[in-house]
Amino acid sequence: MTETVNTSRTITYRQALNETLRAELERDEKVFLVGEEIGVFEGSYKITAGLLEDFGPERVLDAPIAEEGFVGAALGAAMLGMRPVVEIMTINFSLIAIDQIVNHAAKMRSMFAGQVSIPLVIRMPGGGGQQLAATHSQNLEVWYAHIPGLKVVAPSTPADAKALLTAAIRDDDPVIFLENLSLYSAKGEVPDGEQVAEIGKAAVVKTGTDLTIVSYSRGTTTALEVAHQLEGEGLSIEVVDLRSLRPLDRDTICASVRKTGHAVVFEDDWLSYGIGAEISATIGEGAFDFLDAPVRRVAAAEVPLPYAKALEKAALPSAADLARVVREVLNISSNDK
């Protein structure tokens, strides 16, 4: 953090994003926003409300439905030193732009021997649980977290939304900024004044001694809920919020597990080849001797997410699933508390 300010306000994640975009548009004239329906419509999820009115159509660009085109165009503008902040309506639609992101944005700096930088931010929400069915409910961040040259951040709180978005916009590399549909209305304390997070750092958001839950984005909210609930059962749970998926803060994860001896990864995504797989492998390397039980993953059932409420609910990992697995790992039956 660059500046110490002692005042703070309780605002929503949505408002934190909106205010940060506004502050960065004001601060740096190279910053501009582009995306579908971000101007007149004020964003599908109203993140850009009021910005067209205040900054005009040159800096808040409504784009047609052409993800590959406008993401690539933002990339091109970034090559000439602009600082575009793209909104893709949801992460699902980023698949149309993935060639520009993976084959181009992520490659240029290395492939052209450092002659060009790509100060590009791509904001997009992921997440299921709203009956949006298979194509509109995905958590595809691991696709991007896999790619060298990209940075991928995933704030779980309004304060981090502010500090990480500020950092992302000021960063000279392409940053995928992951939001979550179910976090937009979440409230939290946000410090006033300039806040710039360090990308690549995880945070221990609750300390504990018995077991470490590792999660990110919406998952961290659930992890904290479960940790507090289990506190009542006499279990001391530590929660690590990844905040950055690439780079990954392996030290913070392993330091926590070395202390607690138990780890569970909670993720909204499908299990195989997921973020949890990476975390588990990291713990296997960095905290093997400290483990008292195998690392477990609580993730989504590996099925295209159905629309029907009961099926959707069964397929998505819940707080109850997480609590159950934590107890299993600690070898405590849910009956003998």
Ligand X SMILES: Cc1ncc(C[n+]2csc(CCOP(=O)(O)OP(=O)(O)O)c2C)c(N)n1
Q: Which of 8, 9, 54, 66 binds other proteins (CB under 8 A)?
A: 66
Phi, psi of 204 (to 5 degrees): -85, 110
Tell me, yes or no, if 104 is annotated catalytic: no
Residue 196 zone, left/alpha/beta (φ > 0; ψ -120 to 50; rest): beta
Minimum CB distance to ligand X, residue 124 (Å): 11
Continuous H helices in the chain: 13-27, 51-55, 67-79, 98, 108-111, 141-145, 158-170, 218-231, 250-260, 275-286, 309-315, 319-329
Q: Give the one entry of other proteins, ligand X, none that residue 318 binds, where binding means its C-beta sits below a cut-off of 5 to 8 angstroms depending on kind.
A: other proteins
Position among 5, 40, 116, 281 found at the interface with other proteins (CB under 8 A): 40
**Catalytic residue chosen out of the listed positions 42, 104, 136, 278:** 136
CA distance 288 to 22: 46
Residue nearer to other proteins on the CB measure, 69 or 191: 69
Name the one range near ligand X by CB under 6 A: 48-56, 88-96, 241-249, 260-268: 88-96
CA pair distance 242, 225, nearest whole angstrom = 16
Burial call 83-98: b when 16+ CB within 10 Å, e when fewer:
bbbbbbbbbbbbbebb
303 binds ligand X (CB under 6 A): no
Among 102, 134, 186, 332, binds other proteins (CB under 8 A): 134
Q: Which of 273, 269, 217, 278 is nearest to 250 (CA)?
A: 278
The span of 13-21, 76-84, 89-97, 117-125 binding ligand X (CB under 6 A) equals: 89-97
Given other proteins, ligand X, none, residue 300, with its beta carbon under 5 to 8 Å by kind, binds other proteins
Total interface residues for other proteins by CB under 8 A = 51
The residue (of 136 and 296) whose beta carbon lies closer to ligand X is 136
Please report which helix (H) or strand (E) contains residue 196, including its range.
Answer: none
Cα distances (Å, whole numbers) of residue 259 to 131, 212, 276, 288, 320: 39, 9, 19, 12, 25
Catalytic residue, chosen from 19, 42, 67, 267, is: 67
Q: Contact 325/296 with Cβ under 8 angstroms?
A: yes
Q: Which of 22, 30, 59, 62 binds other proteins (CB under 8 A)?
A: 62
Is 67 labeled as catalytic in the residue annotation? Answer: yes
- Positions that interact with other proteins (CB under 8 A): 36-37, 40-42, 44, 62, 64-69, 92-93, 96, 130-136, 271-272, 293-294, 296-304, 306-311, 314-318, 321-322, 324-325
- Positions that interact with ligand X (CB under 6 A): 36, 65, 67, 89, 93, 96
Enzyme catalytic residues: 67, 136
